[in-house]
Amino acid sequence: MRNTRQKDVIRESLKGADGFVSARSLHEQLEEAGEHIALATVYRQLNAMEEQGLVDTVRMNGQQLFRLCGDDSHHHHLVCVSCGRTVQIDPPSEQWLRKVADSHGFTIESHTLEVFGLCAECRERQATSSDADEADQAD
């Protein structure tokens, strides 16, 4: 895919994003900045950038999210289901993956790995909220 002004604008917008963003929210940011790029074009550009390894992508709550890729190596993510914070993690070994696939009669063509859970801050916030709810019920 050739470099286009639209792709450059999308890349610059992703640089300024704090974490993963949806194509729709990126489109809204672009519109607010006076960049009129069709939503379908944003999706198309993001998917092309993913194929080129220029963006990371995760699925969360049924929605595909994108982030400018800061690392050319193969990697995976921990994703907080509450705030969306992501942490890059090392992938499992290729040997382990082949062994698991072989044991089930599979050959690996590709893989992705995202581990979903609560980050420390959200877990703490949830515990504090739960403690406050219990105190209210005790009154």
Burial tier of 135 (Cβ tally within 10 Å: 0-12, 13-18, 19+): exposed
Predicted confidence (pLDDT) at residue 123 exceeds the cutoff of 80: yes
pLDDT given for residue 77 in this prediction: 82
pLDDT given for residue 1 in this prediction: 47
Question: Regarding the domain delimited by 1-72, which CATH topology (the fold level of the hierarchy) does it fall under?
Answer: Arc Repressor Mutant, subunit A (1.10.10)
Annotated binding site for Fe cation: 74, 94, 111
pLDDT given for residue 128 in this prediction: 87
Annotated binding site for Zn(2+): 80, 83, 119, 122
118 three-class SS: coil
CATH code, 74-139: 3.30.1490.190
Residue with the bigger pLDDT between 75 and 104: it is 104
pLDDT given for residue 9 in this prediction: 93
- Segment 106-118 shows an average pLDDT of 85
Annotated binding site: 74, 80, 83, 94, 111, 119, 122
Query: pLDDT digits over 25-67, tens only?
Result: 999 999 999 999 999 999 999 999 988 888 888 888 888 889 8
Query: pLDDT digits over 18-32, tens only?
Result: 778 999 999 999 999
Domain(s) labelled CATH 1.10.10.10 in the chain stretch across 1-72
86 and 77 Cβ atoms separated by less than 8 Å: yes
pTM of the model: 0.63
